[in-house]
Structure 1
Amino acid sequence: MAAHAAVPARHHGSLGWAMPAALGVVYGFYAAFVERDGGAITGGDVLLGVVAGVVFAALAYTLGRFQASMPRELRAAAYGALCAASMGYLISLAGGSVLRSAAIALAIGAGMGLATFYIFYERE
């Protein structure tokens, strides 16, 4: 008698919060580093890095929680928008103009959106 084994569901465990937290820490450190601009570390730089990292981690966590309920096109657009907004902010911290920040962020976001759409399309 052949037994049919059930395929276990994929559970990511702590990766659901660990990945956004790690990305938030890296993003916060980089934002503080860019804002420091080679000078001494100030309390404002640290505060900016902490706030930027927490906001980025919260947005990434929220997107990760709701991505399963989104169609792949919307999911890819959301990842592209998150990437574009975060990179645009870092470019503006580095002293780029609003137009330059928006143009580079749009290009990066479009690339991320296309790449994630391809990944989601191939996996589904």
Structure 2
Amino acid sequence: MDNHAQERDAMASRSHGAIEPEHGATSGEPPAESRPGVARRVPAKVALPVIAALGFGCYTLWIDHTGGAKGAQAALLGLIAAVVSGALGLLLVHYQSTMLTEVRALAYGALFGTSMGWLYNLSGPSVLKSTVWGLVMGGIMFAVSLYVFRAKRVQEPHGLHRPRTTHRPHGAH
């Protein structure tokens, strides 16, 4: 009787009523993706560009509206800015694993620099000042993203681009 109570307590503490698939048990329910009404998580590679695009669109709306545009005109410009920047961001995130580290950093710098230059132009300065501002911001983004990508080089899906080899003297083999 004492053995039976110990086995029962061990089973209860191990599973707590959970189904253990490693023992061949199934719940009999379809996976969460196929059940109606069950929400799935949005992956970060989709959520982050969408959130950034919404923020960019709202900031565009605010800058245009404070610059004197009517509400509907500012809202339309904000919507267009959100859609365009979101589409470009999603494309960049989707294809970034196929790019070399330097090209990927340049793409992030170009997207960020043109976005910041355009926002700066909406607030009123000349096109030349906005272009310089966009180039400066794009250069900063290029440098930061290049640093981040190189610091995490081993975790890239396609591995090291230029693995370092030890230098051997010319005559030694």
Kindly state the Cα deviation for residue 15 of structure 1 after the two structures are TM-superposed: 1.2
| 2:46 corresponds to | 17
SS in 2 for 1:55: helix
Partner of 2:97: 68
Once the two structures are superposed, the pairs formed by residues 73-88 of structure 1 within 5 Å of their partners are 73-88=102-117
Q: Is the 8 A contact 2:67 2:123 kept in 1?
A: no
1:44 — aligned with what? 73
How far did 1:38 drift? 6.0
Which residue type is aligned with residue 119 of structure 1?
V
The answer as to whether partners of 2:120 and 2:130 remain within 8 angstroms in 1 is yes
| Per-residue Cα deviation, 1:30-51 (whole angstroms, up to 9, x for no partner) | 0010001165852111000000
* Partner in structure 1 of residue 34 of structure 2: none
RMSD: 1.6
Aligned pairs for 1:42-121 within 5 A: 42-121=71-150
TM-score normalised to structure 1 length:
0.86
Tell me how far apart the structure 2 counterparts of residues 105 and 69 of structure 1 sit (CA, whole Å). Answer: 26
**1:69 positional shift:** 0.4
Cα distance in 2, alignment partners of residues 52 and 62 from structure 1: 15
1:96, CA displacement in angstroms?
1.3
Give distance in 1, aligned partners of 2:92 and 2:75: 26
CA displacement 1:46-83 (0-9 Å, x = unmatched): 00000001100110100000000000000000000000
Q: Which has the larger radius of gyration?
A: 2
Deviation above 6 Å: which 4+ runs of structure 1? Answer: none
Q: May I ask how many residue pairs the two structures share in their alignment? A: 113
Determine which structure has greater relative contact order: mean sequence separation of CA pairs < 8 Å that are 6+ residues apart, divided by chain length: 1
**C-alpha separation in 1, matches of 2:98 and 2:128:** 34
Matches of 1:112 and 1:87, distance apart in 2: 11
SS in 1 for 2:125: coil
Cα distance in 2, alignment partners of residues 91 and 54 from structure 1 = 19
Q: TM (normalized to structure 2)? A: 0.62
**In structure 1, distance between residues paired with 2:54 and 2:125:** 23
Greater helix content = 1
Moved more, 41-50 or 83-92: 41-50
